[in-house]
Amino acid sequence: MTDILMPALSPTMEEGILAKWHVKVGDTVSAGDVIAEIETDKATMEVEAVDEGTIEAILIEAGTEGVKVNTPIARLAGEGGSAAPAPQKVAEPAKTEAPKAEVATVAAAPAPVSAPAVTSGARVAASPLARRLAEINKLDLKLLKGTGPHGRVIKRDIEEALKSGAGKAGSAPAAAASSEPRKAQSLEQLGIAPGSYDLVPLDGMRKVIARRLTDSFRDIPHFPLTIDIEIDNLLAARAKINTALESQGVKVSVNDIVIKAVALALKQVPEANASFTPEGIAMHHNADIAMAVAIDGGLITPIIRKAETKSLAQIARETKDLAGRARDRKLKPEEFQGGTFSVSNLGMFGIKQFASIINEPQGCILSVGAGEQRPVVKGGQLAVATVMTVTLTCDHRVVDGSIGAKYITALKDLLQDPIKMLA
C-alpha cells in the first residue's frame, strides 16, 4: 500500500488546488498514467503514477483548494500488497509522487533547444547513403538534424555537417571546436580526485543542448532587456476566463496568456519576429511561439503555431497537449522545430528574474519570472501590486536595443491591460 502525496511544483510551493482526478477508486494504474491535475497560480500540472497498482482510496476530492504539499491525496494498493515499497516518503516527497515536478506544463529552464529530441539507443532515421557517409566520416547520426521526410537524415545533412563540423563522433578534433562543447581540462587535472564523483554519460539530447547553446552563446551578440509588469488585471481576467471555460474543461494558465500576448505584440512590432541569415533578415509572417518545456534529461521547445490567431482556450489546450507529449518524447519534429520566438518560464520555481540564451535562429527569447506581490509607487503613494519581471534576450544582429524596448513595452502594455488583446 502506498500513499500518493500532493506534489510540489516548486521548492517554494506550499499548497495548491487539486483540480481534477483522472482516476476513480478501483482503477488500475501503471507507472506514467496521468492520475490527477494540480494547479497553482501559474501552472497546471499533471500528476503521474509512479508505481503500478489499484487506486484504493481517493483522499482529497477534486476541486479542493489549499491542499498542502505532502498531504496524502490518494492511496494505491500495490500488486504485491505489502511488497509495495514504503520507504520514508515523508522525508522524500518528491521522489515518490512527483519525480517530475519540474515537468509542469510550462516549467522551463533558461536554455531551450529546438533540436531533435534524441533518446539514446533509439534508432535514428537516416537514408542508407547517409548511414554509409556517416560511417566513412565518423559522424554520429544522433547528433545530426535530419531534413529529409519525417526528419530523416539524408546525404545533404551529412554534407552540411561536414562543412560545419557538426556531429563529430568520439574524438572531437580542434577543428570541430565550433560545434562541440569546449574540451576542458580533465577534472583530475583540476584537482578533483578520481572516484569522488559519478560520471553520467552524455546522451543525445544532452549533447545537442551543449552544442547548440555553446554555439548560440558564443556566436550571437546578445543583450537582455528587463521590465516589470503588473499582472493584477491579468490574474483577475484569468479567473473570469477560467470560470467561463469551466464547462469546456479548459484551464488557461498565466503562461498561456503570456504566449498570446507575446504573439500579438510581435504583430505590433514585427521587427522582433525575425531571424538573421547571411542572405538577409528573415521577417516571419507568423508568430510561431516556442515554449520551453523541461523534460526528463533535458528540455525541448514545442511550438504554438500562429499563436496570434488562436484563442486562449485553443492555446491552453495546445500547451497542455504539447507539454504532455513532450514529456513522453512523443513530439513530431515539426512540432518542436521552426518556431520564430521563444518563451521560457521559471516563475513557478519562484525565480524572480533571468535571461535566457537565444534559441537559434530566433531573434528573441522572453524569460518570465514569478508573479509576486511587491511594493510599487503609484501617484506618489506606496501601493501593493502583483508584479512579474520579464527579460527579453535579443540577437543584436536582428533586434537593436530600441526595437527590443519597443517590443517589450508593447508586451507590457498588453499584459498589464489584457483587455487590449481584444482590440
Partner 1 sequence: MSYDLVVIGSGPGGYEGAIRASQNGLKVAIVEREALGGICLNWGCIPAKALLKSAEVYDKLHHLEDYGLSASNPGYDFEKVIQRSRGVTKTMSGGVAYLMKKNKIDVIEGSAVLEPGKDAPKVVVTLKAGGIQTVEAKNVMLAVGARAREIPAIGAVSDGERIWTYRNALAPKSQPKSLIIIGSGAIGIEFASFYKALGTEVTVVEAMDRILPVEDHEVSAEALKAFKKRGINFRISAKVTKIEKPAKGVAVHVEVAGKSEILAAEGCIVAVGIVANTDGIGLEKLGVEMDRGHVKNDSHGKTNVKGLYAIGDCAGPPWLAHKASHEAVHAADYMAGRKLSNLNPPIPGCTYATPEVASVGITEQAAKEQKLDVKIGRFPFRANGRAVASSETLGFVKVIFEKKTGALLGAHMIGANVTEMVQGFCLAITMEATEEDLQGTVFPHPTMSEAILEASLDADGRVINT
Q: Which residues bind partner 1 (CB under 8 A)?
A: 127-130, 132-133, 136, 147-149, 154-157, 285, 334, 338
Residue with Cβ nearer partner 1 (17 or 133):
133
Smaller CB distance to partner 1: residue 149 or 195? Answer: 149
Cα–Cα dist 66/69, whole Å: 9
Nearer to partner 1, 52 or 160 (CB): 160
The C-alpha atoms of residue 92 and residue 58 are separated, in whole angstroms, by 21
Cβ 340 to partner 1 shortest distance, Å: 12
Q: Name the residue nearer to partner 1 (CB basis): 147 or 268.
A: 147
**Cα dihedral angle (276, 279, 284, 290), rounded to 10 degrees?**
-40
Is 150 among the residues known to form the active site?
Answer: no
Q: How far is it, in rounded angstroms, from Cα 357 to Cα 222?
A: 8
Torsion angle, CA of 122/127/128/134, rounded to 10 degrees?
A: -70
DSSP state of 300: E
Residue 99, C-alpha cell as written in the block: 519525480
Q: Which is nearer to partner 1, 44 or 340 (CB)?
A: 340
DSSP string of 175-238, one letter each residue: GGGGTSPP-PPPTTTTTPPTTSSPPPPP-HHHHHHHHHHHHHHHHS-EEEEEEEEE-HHHHHHH
Asked whether 91 and 72 are in contact (CB, 8 A), the reply is: no
Q: What secondary structure letter does DSSP report for 116? A: -
Give the residue with the Cβ less far from partner 1, 285 or 352.
Answer: 285
Give the nearest distance from C-beta 131 to partner 1 in angstroms. Answer: 8
Apex 69 CA angle, 64 and 74, nearest 5: 60
The owner of cell 483577475 is: 236
Nearest alpha carbon to residue 340 among 262, 226, 224: 262
CB of 151 to partner 1, least distance (A): 9
Q: Residues 115, 208: contact at Cβ < 8 Å? A: yes
Smallest gap from Cβ 97 to partner 1, in A, equals: 40
Identify which of residues 135 and 246 has a Cβ nearer to partner 1 in the complex: 135
Set of cell numbers at residue 64: 479542493
Of the CA atoms within 13 Å of residue 64, those in its CB half-sphere come to 16
Closest contact distance (angstroms) between CB of 290 and partner 1 is 16
Residue 154 CB, shortest distance to partner 1, in Å, is: 6
Least Å distance, CB 130 to partner 1, is 6
The span from the CA of 67 to the CA of 45, in Å, is 14
Instruction: Give catalytic residues, as residue numbers.
Output: 396
